[in-house]
Amino acid sequence: MEKKDYKFDTLAIHAGAEGKNPHNALNPPIFQTSTFVFDSIEHVDRVMSFESDDYVYTRGNNPTIRLFENRMSALENGNGAVAFSSGMAAISSTLFSLLEPGDNVVVNSTLYGSTFTVVTKLLAKYHVDYKAVDFTKLEALEQVIDDKTKVIYFETPCNPNLEIIDIKKVVDIAKARNIRVVVDNTFASPYFQNPLDLGVDIVLHSATKYICGHGDVVGGVVISKDTQYIQKLKFDYMCEFGGVMSPFNAWLLLRGLKTLGLRMRQHEQNAIDVAKFLDNHNIIKRVMYPGLKNFKGHSIAKEQMSGFGAMIAFEVEGGYEKAVEVVNNTKLAQLAVSLGDCETLTELPFAMTHRGYPEELLKEFGLTKNMVRISVGLENVEDIIEDINRSLG
């Protein structure tokens, strides 16, 4: 199908399909095979010299995985994608593919906890330095960049405080210095934000979250307009580190993608109501949601996103004990580290997803102990609000 002829919801169902499925099946098969057979050594030569894009071995490629990659590439306006066994496999492989000993990576100070660990602990073992600064202060970002900086990496909206980074402005700073920009687009999903259109070099997702949408897959994906980079990432990193997605997970993600637009619209509608409710509640000190007009990043979010998503963070009066009480007392909302599912999920970043951050850094970066994060689900919004209201006491 010609991508330019269709809109997001249509592409999420059809993009990347090459002709009819075997036996005219509506759904693509799951190619549950580790290896592929060749007709002859001549066939081997054609495939291994990339003259043919036939398959070799599922750690390198597989038709079900390729369909997922092509669909994701279409949804993010890229020219190619690589699927991974998890979001972290995608993130670590991308960083290792772009950095060499002696280089440094500049990251936003608020990052998903495991990403922070890769940047601060694992890369350091290979003599790759890092600098963490608040990207909402662009002067601070400019100040820490030096001639060894090869990558600028951030999430927007950020996990867990929903801060919004001005993608275009960061890209301008990076391009002037020939630095690659990588954006983790997990919270927005490709439905609400397409960083490649704003000049970003590489966009990646924990596909475990909204792309899956049903809490039954762990997966990751990286997309870029640079096809040479995608080839390198696939064959020199994904294939060699071995963080391959399983064909079954690729198939489940293709199923999840069919309803991504539909789900995101409802997630967001529910989140707006929940955020407004929280904003008016007397024991809530601060609500962090890009869709609230009084939120710091609101105007940038409005500019660079087509919607505000469904992740909310808030701080309660009464400190950590009160935050614990709130998440322990909900009946409908469940306590879990993940997000983007049909079920409403809550968590305490301090005790859960961001536990790996040293306490003094949590303080410096404004990740407070009384912060509660909610992934607003698809249940009836009145039930969600009633549940939170009851738990706030």
Ligand X SMILES: Cc1ncc(COP(=O)(O)O)c(C=O)c1O
Task: Note if 184 is an active site residue.
Answer: yes
Minimum CB–partner distance for residue 388 and ligand X (Å): 21
Tell me: does residue 365 bind ligand X (CB under 6 A).
no
**Residue found under tokens 């509660």:** 372
Element (H, E) at 64: helix 63-75
Tell me: does residue 92 bind ligand X (CB under 6 A).
no
- Residues 6 or more apart whose CB falls under 8 angstroms from that of 283 comprise 316, 317, 318, 322, 392, 393
Q: Are 90 and 67 in contact (CB under 8 A)?
A: no
Residues 101-140 that bind ligand X (CB under 6 A): 112, 114
Minimum CB–partner distance for residue 282 and ligand X (Å): 30
Cα–Cα distance list, 18 to 1, 14, 32, 194 (Å): 8, 10, 19, 24
* Nearest to ligand X of 207, 287 (CB atom): 207
* Phi, psi (deg, nearest 5) at residue 373: -110, 135
Query: What ranges make up the beta strands (E) of 193-341?
Result: 202-206, 220-224, 284-288, 311-316, 334-335
* Nearest to ligand X of 206, 246 (CB atom): 206
What is the x/- site pattern for ligand X, positions 50-89, by CB under 6 A?
Answer: ------------------------------------xxx-
Task: Note if 66 is an active site residue.
Answer: no
Tell me: does residue 310 bind ligand X (CB under 6 A).
no
Tell me: does residue 208 bind ligand X (CB under 6 A).
yes
Task: Note if 383 is an active site residue.
Answer: no
| Nearest one of 289, 311, 318, 313 to 301, comparing CA atoms | 289
Minimum CB–partner distance for residue 220 and ligand X (Å): 5
Minimum CB–partner distance for residue 47 and ligand X (Å): 30
Q: Which of 184, 268, 347, 387 binds ligand X (CB under 6 A)?
A: 184
Cα–Cα distance list, 229 to 15, 78, 94, 97, 224 (Å): 22, 12, 10, 9, 8
The site that binds ligand X (CB under 6 A) totals a number of residues, namely 13
Task: Note if 191 is an active site residue.
Answer: no
Catalytic residue, chosen from 129, 166, 184, 201, is 184
Minimum CB–partner distance for residue 264 and ligand X (Å): 16
Q: Are 99 and 105 in contact (CB under 8 A)?
A: yes
Binding site for ligand X (CB under 6 A): 86-88, 112, 114, 155, 159, 184, 186, 206, 208, 218, 220
Catalytic residues: 59, 112, 184, 209
